[in-house]
Copies of this chain bind each other. A is one copy, B any other.
Amino acid sequence: MKFEAVTIKDIAKALGLSTSTVSRALRDSYEISPETKKVVLEYAEKINYHPNPIALSLKERRSRSIGVIVSEIANSFFSQAIDGIESIAYKNGYNVIISQSRESFDRESIHLQYLTSRSIDGLIISVAAETKDFSHFKELHERGMPLVFFDRIINEIDTYKVIVDNYQGAYDATRYLIENGFKRIAALANNEILSITRDRLAGYKAALTDHGIKTDDSFIKYCEHGGLRLEEVEQAVTELVSAETRPDAILALGDKLTTGSLRILKAKKIEVPGDIGLIGFSNSETSELIEPPLSIIKQPAFEMGEIATDLLIQLIESKRPVTSFETKKLAPQIIIRESAKNKNKSMLNVEF
């Protein structure tokens, strides 16, 4: 099976010209006479010539492709972000190679290795939950590979980063719960090492403190793989609801944790928000259709992907080394629905 492409040589031979002349004619060089250009252009059009991007990559030492590593494609947040990445990349003539870490450090390392050996021009990364050692990223960064982190970032590496205001999102969600009568608010977090975990928990704790509620460490549960495995969510939720003092609300700090905990609560026949209120980070397209309609903290995923890609391309195409980087922080959107409605008032809403 082969797919023969026409080359510049074919044109040169057919027209009795040299390849250099053809090349220059195609690039509209001033050194070529208008007549020759016309002939070449018309013939190229006729035989449907397209420059071989691989030959160009070899010559220019750039592949015009960028790598992306996320934990999981089939996750609304990431698929929306990839959507944004693709759109900008495409506009700029880059293509995108996607890999999934599935929250595993090993898979992340392997993909990183693979992508860089495929000679990509830059990399957009959301770190895996398992990853505690950042040296592979650091080394790459030091060797000059353009890098942009989004969502889950690495503070120690100085480059562009794109995140939402995780602190504020968690703070506002927690405050909402407090102001609506919830008092014993538990947090269901991702892996402790992740930037998003730290920031979101900080917001959660600050909101509690600001409202005179003592933070209780037994109310904070961590899921090593961010809820990618339902068992870890089950264990965390089970521990929470079977404690002596059971929380009356859960703040879930990740997409999979939000739907996962609802899944578990339903399985345990625990009413939401009657028995336990629920609000969480989520970009699910169907959050409003869910029973009860989910209260969510939503990230502008598409936009984050766009911005990250814009920054990466800037980095790739800049003539001189970039030394001053910034962290773009976007505002999350909080959407309140039934799952976090006022405990007492909500009794009135139940349809008897």
Interface residues of A (CB under 8 A from B): 1-5, 50, 52-55, 57-58, 61, 63, 65, 72-76, 79-80, 82-83, 86, 90, 95-100, 114, 117-119, 143-146, 259, 262-263, 266, 284-286, 288-293, 315-316, 318, 321-322, 352
Interface pairs A-B: 3 shortest CB-CB: A291-B291, A74-B79, A50-B117
Chain B: CB-nearest residue to A291: B291
A119 touches B54 (CB 8 A): yes
Partner of A76, one of B5, B74, B321, B352: B74
* Bound form: Cα–Cα A179–B144 in Å: 65
* Bound form: Cα–Cα A117–B114 in Å: 24
* Bound form: Cα–Cα A5–B90 in Å: 26
Residues of B within 8 A of A82 (CB): 73-74, 98
A1 touches B63 (CB 8 A): no
Residues of B within 8 A of A143 (CB): 3-4
Residues of B within 8 A of A52 (CB): 58, 119
Chain B: CB-nearest residue to A107: B90
A5 touches B119 (CB 8 A): yes
Residues of B within 8 A of A99 (CB): 86, 90
Question: Shortest distance in angstroms between A91's beta carbon and chain B's nearest beta carbon?
Answer: 11
* Bound form: Cα–Cα A145–B288 in Å: 44
A53 touches B118 (CB 8 A): yes
Question: Shortest distance in angstroms between A266's beta carbon and chain B's nearest beta carbon?
Answer: 7
Residues of B within 8 A of A86 (CB): 73, 98-100
Partner of A95, one of B90, B118, B146, B262: B118
Chain B: CB-nearest residue to A320: B1
24 contacts between A and B (CB under 8 A): A1-B321, A4-B143, A52-B58, A53-B119, A54-B54, A54-B57, A54-B63, A73-B82, A74-B76, A74-B79, A74-B285, A75-B79, A79-B79, A82-B98, A83-B100, A86-B98, A86-B99, A90-B114, A97-B97, A259-B285, A259-B286, A262-B289, A263-B289, A352-B352
